[in-house]
Chains A and B, each alone.
Chain A
Amino acid sequence: MSSNKKYWKSVEELKDNSSIVETLKQNEFVNEIPTDEFLGDKETLESSSTTRRDFLKYVGFSTAAASLAACEGPVIKSIPYVVQPESITPGVANYYATTIADGFDFASVLVKTREGRPIKIENNNLANTHNGANARVNASVLGLYDSLRVKSAMKSGQEILWSTFDTETNQKLTDLKNAGKEIVLLTQTYASPSTSKLISEFKAAYGNVRHVVYDAVSESAALDAFEVAYGTRGMANYDFSKAMTIVSVGADFLGDWQGGGFDSGYAQGRVPKNGKMSRHIQFESNMSLTGANADKRVPLTPSQQKQVLAKLYSLVVGGSVSTDLPEHINAAAQKAASELKKAGSNGVLVTGIQDVNAQTVALAINESLASKAFDTSTPILTRQGKDADVTKLVADMKAGRVGGIIMSGVNPMYTLPNASEFAEGLEKTELSIAFSMKADETSTLAQYIAAAPHYLESWGDVELKKGHYSLMQPTIRPLFDTRQFQEALLLWNGNDKNYRDYIKEAWGTGILSGSSFNKALQDGVYVGSIATETVDTTSDSETSIIDDLLGDSQPTVVSAGSAARALASSVSQGELELSLYTKVGMGDGQQANNPWLQEFPDPITRTSWDNYLTMSAKDAEKYQVKNWHVANGGLNSSLVELTVNGIPVTVPVIIQPGQAVGSLGLALGYGRKNGLKEEMQTGKNAYHFYKDFNTAQSDVSLKVVSGEHEFACVQLQNTLMGRGDIIKETTLEIFSTKDKKYWNPIPKVSLNHEEVAVTDPNVDLWDEFDRSIGHHFNLSIDLNACTGCGACVIACHAENNVPVVGKDEIRRSRDMHWLRIDRYYSSEDTFEGDNKKKEDTKGLAIIDAFEEMENAADNPQVAFQPVMCQHCNHAPCETVCPVAATSHGRQGQNHMAYNRCVGTRYCANNCPYKVRRFNWFLYAQNDEFDYYMNDDLGRMVLNPDVTVRSRGVMEKCSMCIQMTQKTILDAKRDGREIKDGEFQTACSAACSSGAMVFGDINDKDSKVAKLKEDDRMYHLLESVGTKPNVQYHTKVRNTTEA
């Protein structure tokens, strides 16, 4: 029987005469290894003079030689100046006041330079304009050292001399002038008195000249409305610190709404004083930074926003409108209106709806409230673009009516929805010049690229608000052969002055009224009398704006009442509406080649290196769109094809808690291709959908397509799951009526089966050190004032040489950010609800409860928490380090000696705050990480006082010990005591909202010492007993409905 069994290895063997089996018997390995290919033929081998033995000898010798040579240090050369500039002392930083004005971001800043290299942007505290340096402004210094900048003038892709450029362009301009053809200047908003003067001189010189101001992200509606109401083309200035009730309808005023920069005023009003703080109600579609900070947030679609605004107008000012709002929104609107009315002049209403009617209504409501926060006397001038002008220009260009076009600071080929029409028009012009730092989408199509300098290499002046001037001065000699737009205008105008002298002269006659120009230059800012006559900075059309509004889709501006009625009639056309927005990191996209900003996690989604469609969970279910986590800790999503106005784009989706059902969000500023490193070409261009410069688009459809997208998201856990001690919060009512023990209790631990406070010395595992002598640093973070803007994150990058690791590494959770801003959603409607659910659930039901609590609510409360190394007095990381690489300083800082670290990562495992970062790779001078640290130019931004860490070592926040040490040394040298406020960290100095305060708690009069005694103070995970030197201040929400 057994002999009948046939064992077989493949089915082929079962056949009797299989050729395959035969072949296999002959030759088991069918394909011979082609040794000839890599060994070469026999002849070559034999004729070679190198035998195998010789080869081994060479290898041996060279290895030995290499290892011997490694024992010798390299010879380092030092090259001093031939003539040392008086202002430069090697090793000592200089600060210059200047101004960023790139058309999107405007701010007075201080620039720190070392040995002549700008290395960091800081706030100019002399500037009393509202604009602090946001994340993008902080990151802008890296743009100076961008290796892909255009390095000289170019003509059709070839570098040319400026002299050639001058002769050719002069000739062409003269030809155009003689032929009577129109020359168009298409520029960003400069808000610069001297530039306006130059342009008017240019107009005088060339006759048929049109100046079109173009803002990539338009605020035209607000400007038009303000111009009609108050006669100046500007935007109303809001001081939110004076408002007790803030109602925002779709205005992301903590983001980039109307130029941004309102957060410091807002934050002032958010800190409870004498039981009072402002109340903030937000109606919006996307979850914005502003909505995340609101006390009450009502999600609704863009078309509903218009109706709510109309409703508010009718309730606050008067008149009747009929709306078809859902009941809960209607109720919320009514409550908001009654609160506004009750607040009276302490109330303010803002709106971000891109509609002249909406903006007119908002102005009317504030007028009617006589709002103290509403200021029309010093309008903000940092947006000047007029949509109608741009539309008309494109039409004229297409029709061949434009002879020549000179562009500066704009990239219409990228930012225009009808870019192809612009391209068509551009071809028809006889002369096209683009002043640009990059060979971008537009400049590559222009005949000439005039290499433009970075703002840190330029002169300039800006009128940020009416009467509030700011000067721009170069902080470094131009790195490349560049020329700024204004210098070129001077040449074309036949003026042989340089631009600096021109500004000085213009200021001397027009602005300074006798004060010193040098003083203004040193301060960076100058506040003139408000009545100072401003040069007309607007574009050409002198006729009233009503004539300019194109088509019938936009109603003519009449009265606010009829505007409100027009708004009320707005109805959604489809079942989905798209809201375009700008991200804190990327803005309008002009800094897309900045790796700091690409890697900066969005404050809301915590996702970097991408833009994506945000969608509500309900809609996601409806369209079967999914987000899921994969094994390596990454976040993946389905891809959808989004079609807006007939244009399809395939985008990934993030299911966004708080997104209004029926609405979608997509960030502008991504999807750029030209002039960017490959790694930076991220996301999809949403400007394709930016029809009529309206952020709200209604002709939207969506379908899931095959494929999935990999995100680089740094925070996958969205909720606190009832752990209320991580972000302590309470309501204003409880805060002002109840005892601290009730809303900010000290955690209890068990000692000998008795509950004792964790601060009790008896429960301590460690011996207490005496820290009463000398300095003892503390960093205080007020969760009420923190808006989550992220300026501190970038400031920390710049100060501490934090490397950029790229999308793949971020996805693997290997981000190197020393400072992260955690964002949490509530799982119930409130965080309080989460805590209650956790406490109330008994027994095994807690497992299900926790599972539910992993998911955020549809309209959750949001909390931000900046987390950096907590510099624990009893640090768990220190006790586990086998080589004592991390140890404690007497001044409260937890030190990290990189040269001592051997990379066991025990410390990171033992850190309860997860703030330690491991260098998995060498990030500097490594082609695998081709970001700024890989080229000589990019490395110029590195701070010479901070070590660039190498592979295999742990790093973390040092509490900017290089800055505290410098402050101490300066005081020692001067022989004086240190005043409060002198000690700063990069993050606290960058925080314009005042949420972060740094100082010495042994100085009992210091601000931070007082904050430590504040009732709201608590420590993160206090129950662990680590005794951190970072304090948090309990978040108080004003839920009291007036």
Chain B
Amino acid sequence: MIQVIYRQLASKIPYLGLVILLTFSTSLTAQEGDPAKGKTLFNTNCAACHQLDKKTTGPALRNVEARLADEQGLDRTWLDAWIRNSAGMVKSGDAYANQIFNEYNGTAMTAFPQLTDQDISDILAYTAVDPCELNPQSSPDCPGYVQPTGGDNPDDEGGISNKLILGALAILFALLAIALVLVRKTLNRFAEEKGIDAVAKDKSLPIWKAFVQNQFLVLVTSIFFLLASAYFIYGYLSQIGVDQGYQPVQPIHFSHKIHAGDNGIDCKYCHSSARVSKTSGIPSLNICMNCHKSVYEYKGETTDKYSKEFYDGEIQKLYAAAGWSDADQKYTGDAKPVKWVRIHNLPDFAYFNHSQHVEVAGVQCQTCHGPVEEMEEVYQFAPLTMGWCINCHRETDVNVKDNAYYTKIHEELSKKYGVEKLTAAQMGGLECGKCHY
């Protein structure tokens, strides 16, 4: 009987195995997502509202599939439906869908009907990856985590060798000097013994006395000194009010290097009024919050001075200013406007219009503001003097291409001046009243 039972069981094993295999095979195909592709997809589609480990606009998504299955008993089909049309599910009265919907202040998740099954698998695969597997340094909890030591300078070795060479040289020179002194002493002694007098000193006037007596020289020198001091005083006075290099400490350490450089955000994304207005505009805090609602921590390169903690602290400052509660993912309404220190200050009597330069002339922001994308802290790059403005107007050709405004005037002026391209100066860009009114 036992045998029979056994046999029966055994006979069922293949079936069971098949069933298991089939069950797993489906889930296996489903889990055959590519985490690398998933990461890209996640960043393009999901990252605006979701983080892996943190609740932002939407819930944290680490191991979402497994968690859903464990905690709610919801399978992949539910997840697919949710991703493709969450609003529909909420409407249909699905219990968990409604729960989530209400938990997140009734914000409906954007529908992604364009995502294929494979895409979703990829994304889910990405969410299921163990963070330590990708990068042991990502968290101190990872087994492979190494405490960063800091202070390790790759230049150290070279520095030591330099010091060694310098030291050796110094010792060499010291030896030489000693040798010379000794030689001189010896020679003097020889001379003394032979009865030869040491070289008698000439009775000429000291040089300063001779100089004072030579009136011509005094005159020339004083004229020279007067001219020189006039030159330097003039130089000193004319740089008053020229604040080139001005780099004040800002209330929030905003790194243009990270934003414009590392992340390649276009200047005019934040300084959008540069396109239409005379001012480039300091972006209002709601523009910062467009991204910083989800970017709550710094993940880029760090240095000693600017550590991750430092940058995260600055982001917290932004939240405080904008009145954003990161924990509740809500605005508290208690905003404190930021008092930025203005770096580029033109005097009131000079009229400068950003849109004229940025939009019409197509001048790169960097032409006047320097390599902002490399500046950790922004400083005034250009002197912003009138001479500097004028120079550029003299040298820069006017961008007349496809601009109907310029068609006629360009044709006539280029004929008049006999040139193909016109500079801003030839267009009248040196006239006083163009900037002073």
Tell me, yes or no, whether A binds B: yes
> Is A573 in the interface zone, CB < 8 Å from B?
no
**Which of chain A's residues has its CB closest to B428's CB?**
A890
Across the interface, A90 reaches (CB within 8 A) one of B273, B338, B402, B433, namely B273
B71 at the binding interface (Cβ < 8 Å): no
Verify B437–A962 contact, CB threshold 8 A.
yes
A958 lies within 8 A of B437 (CB): yes
In whole angstroms, what is the CA distance A71 to B241 when docked? Answer: 7
CB distance from A127 to the nearest CB of B (A): 28
A891 an interface residue at 8 Å Cβ cutoff? yes
Q: Mark B328-357, 1 if CB is under 8 A from A, else 0.
A: 000000010111111001011111010110
What is the CB-to-nearest-CB distance from A819 to chain B, in angstroms, rounded to a whole number? Answer: 16
A92 within 8 A of B: yes
* Inter-subunit contact B284/A887 (CB<8 Å): no
Instruction: Tell me, yes or no, whether B412 is within 8 Å of chain A by CB.
Output: yes
- Say which residue of B273, B355, B406, B431 sits within 8 Å of A887 (CB atoms): B431
Q: Which residue of B lies closest to A895 (CB)?
A: B433
Give a binary string over B250-289; 1 marks a CB under 8 Å from any A CB, 0 the rest. Answer: 0000000000000000000000010011110111111100
Asked whether any CB of chain A lies closer than 8 Å to the CB of B248, the reply is yes
Which of B240, B360, B433 meets A969, CB within 8 Å? B360
A737 within 8 A of B: no
Q: Is the CB of A969 within 8 A of B353?
A: yes
The answer, yes or no, to whether A17 is at the interface (CB within 8 Å) is no
Of the listed stretches A76-84, A176-184, A929-937, name the one at the interface; the rest are far from the partner chain: A76-84
Question: Considering the chains assembled together, what is the distance between the CA atoms of A677 and B342 in angstroms?
Answer: 37
| B240 contacts A71, C-beta separation under 8 Å | yes
| B contact set with A: CB distance below 8 Å | 240-241, 243, 248, 273, 276-279, 281-287, 321-323, 335, 337-342, 345, 347-351, 353, 355-356, 359-360, 402-409, 412-413, 416, 428, 431-434, 436-437
Contact with B along A898-912 (1 / 0, CB 8 A): 111000000000000
Task: Provide the bound-state CA to CA distance between A429 and B405, in Å.
Answer: 69
Set of chain B residues within 8 Å of A890, measured between Cβ atoms: 428, 431
Whether the pair B436, A969 counts as a contact (CB closer than 8 A) is: no
Tell me if B341 and A84 are in contact (CB < 8 A).
Answer: no
Q: Which residues of B contact A77 (CB under 8 A)?
A: 339-342
Residues of chain A in range 941-981 having any CB-CB distance to chain B below 8 Å: 945-948, 958, 961-962, 965, 968-969, 971-978
CB <8 Å contact, A89 and B405:
no
Q: How far is the CA of A416 from the CA of B348 in the complex (A)?
A: 48
List the B residue with the shortest CB-CB distance to A76: B342
A773: which B residues are within 8 A, CB to CB? 409, 412-413, 416
CB-based closest 4 A-B pairs: A895-B433, A91-B277, A84-B284, A81-B284
Q: Are B281 and A89 in contact (CB under 8 A)?
A: yes
Closest A residue to B272 using CB positions: A89
The answer to whether A969 touches B356, judged by C-beta atoms less than 8 angstroms apart, is yes
Measured between C-beta atoms, what is the minimum distance from A771 to chain B in Å? 11
Inter-subunit contact A73/B356 (CB<8 Å)? no
A875: CB under 8 A from chain B? no
Inter-chain pairs besides A895-B433, A968-B405, 11 sampled, C-beta below 8 Å: A82-B322, A91-B281, A92-B273, A889-B431, A889-B432, A890-B431, A895-B437, A899-B347, A972-B360, A976-B404, A978-B405
Q: A73-B241, A92-B276 are in contact. Are A83 and B285 (CB under 8 A)?
A: yes
Q: A76 to B359, alpha carbons, bound, how many Å?
A: 27
A948 interface neighbour in B278, B348, B402, B406, Cβ under 8 Å:
B348
The CB with the most chain A CB atoms within 10 A, among B341, B405, B416, B437, is that of B437
A844 at the A/B interface (Cβ < 8 Å)? no
How many A-B pairs fall under 8 Å by CB? Answer: 153
The answer to whether the Cβ of A254 comes within 8 Å of any Cβ in the partner chain is no
Q: Which of A79, A83, A973, A977 contacts B408 (CB 8 A)?
A: A977
Does residue A209 face the partner (Cβ distance < 8 Å to B)?
A: no
Is the CB–CB distance between A899 and B284 below 8 Å? Answer: no
Determine the residue in chain B with the shortest Cβ distance to A70.
B240
Q: Is A80 in contact with B355, judged by CB distance below 8 angstroms?
A: no
Q: Cβ of A945 and Cβ of B351 under 8 Å apart?
A: yes
Question: Is the CB–CB distance between A899 and B436 below 8 Å?
Answer: yes
With contact pairs A81-B285, A91-B281 given, residues A891 and B428 touching in the complex (Cβ less than 8 Å): yes
Q: Are A82 and B341 in contact (CB under 8 A)?
A: no
Complex CA distance for A963 and B323, rounded to whole angstroms: 40
Nearest A-chain residue to B406, judged by Cβ: A972
- Report if A349 contacts B (CB, 8 A): no
* Cβ-neighbour of B436 out of A71, A891, A897 (below 8 A): A897
State in angstroms the CA–CA spacing of A943 and B282 once bound together.
21
A76 touching B273, Cβ below 8 Å = no
Q: How far is the CA of A79 from the CA of B409 in the complex (A)?
A: 41
Given contacts A75-B248, A969-B353, contact A774 B409 (CB under 8 A): yes
- Whether the Cβ atoms of B277 and A90 lie closer than 8 Å is yes
List the A side residues contacting B416 at CB < 8 Å.
Answer: 770, 773
Q: Is the interface of B mostly helix, strand, loop or mixed?
A: loop
CB pairs A–B below 8 angstroms (15 shown): A77-B340, A78-B340, A80-B337, A82-B335, A83-B284, A89-B273, A89-B277, A90-B277, A91-B277, A893-B433, A895-B432, A896-B432, A898-B349, A947-B348, A972-B360
- In angstroms, Cα B287 to Cα A80, docked, is 11
Which of A75, A84, A899, A961 contacts B433 (CB under 8 A)?
Answer: A961
The residue in chain A whose Cβ has the minimal distance to the Cβ of B398 is A972
Cα(A448)–Cα(B341), bound, Å = 46
- Rounded to whole Å, the gap between the CB of B386 and the closest CB of chain A is 9
A971–B353 Cα gap in the complex (Å)? 14
Give CA–CA (A885, B248) in the complex, Å.
Answer: 34
The A608-641 residues at the B interface (CB cut-off 8 A) are: none
| CB neighbours of B404 from chain A (8 A) | 975-977
The listed residue (B273, B338, B359) touching A91 by CB distance below 8 A is: B273
Contact B283 A80 (CB under 8 A): yes
Name the B residues within 8 Å of A948 (CB-CB). 348
Q: Are A80 and B413 in contact (CB under 8 A)?
A: no
Q: In the complex, what distance in Å separates the CA atom of A494 from the CA atom of B308?
A: 59
List of B residues within 8 angstroms of A971 by Cβ: 405
Residues from chain B with a CB closer than 8 A to the CB of A976 are 404-405
CA distance A968 to B405 in the complex (A): 9
Contact residues in B for A885 (Cβ distance below 8 Å)? 432
Q: What is the bound-complex CA distance between A37 and B212, given in angstroms?
A: 57
Q: Which of A77, A83, A92, A974 has the most CB of B within 10 A?
A: A83
B270 to chain A, nearest CB (A): 10
Query: Among A80, A83, A961, which residue has the most Cβ atoms of chain B within 10 A?
Result: A80
A63 to B105, CA, bound (A): 63
Chain B residues whose C-beta falls within 8 Å of the C-beta of A89 in the assembled complex: 273, 276-277, 281
* Residue pair B338, A972 in contact (C-beta under 8 Å): no
Give B345's nearest chain A residue, CB to CB: A76
A75 to B343, CA, bound (A): 9
With a cutoff of 8 Å between Cβ atoms, the chain B residues found around residue A898 in the complex are 349, 436
Q: Assess whether A887 is in contact with B432, with CB atoms less than 8 Å apart.
A: yes
Given contacts A895-B432, A947-B348, contact A82 B321 (CB under 8 A): yes
Chain A residues, CB < 8 A from B431: 887, 889-890, 895
Closest A residue by C-beta to B401: A975
A972 x B286 contact (CB < 8 A): no
Specify the chain A residue showing the minimal Cβ separation from B433.
A895
A92 touches B436 (CB 8 A): no
Cα A78 to Cα B278 in complex, Å, equals 15
Among B240, B287, B341, B436, find the residue whose CB has the most chain A CB atoms closer than 10 A. Answer: B436
Q: Which residues of chain B are near A946, meaning CB under 8 Å?
A: 437
Instruction: Using A897-B432, A899-B349, A947-B349 as known contacts, say yes or no to A78 and B342 having CB atoms under 8 A apart.
Output: yes
* Chain A residues, CB < 8 A from B432: 885, 887, 889, 895-897, 900
Contact B355 A973 (CB under 8 A): yes
Query: Please, how many angstroms separate the alpha-carbon atoms of A244 and B273 in the complex?
Result: 53
Question: What's the least CB distance linking A6 to chain B, in Å?
Answer: 66
Measured between alpha carbons, how far is A244 from B335 in the docked complex, in Å? 66
Please tell me if the beta carbons of A80 and B360 are within 8 angstroms of each other in the complex: no
B residues less than 8 Å from A978 (CB atoms): 405
Complex: chain B residue closest to A893, CB-CB: B433
* CB-based nearest A residue for B322: A82
**Do A91 and B349 contact each other (CB < 8 Å), given the known contacts A77-B341, A773-B409?**
no
- State A958–B351 Cα separation when bound (angstroms): 14
B198 nearest CB across to chain A (Å): 55
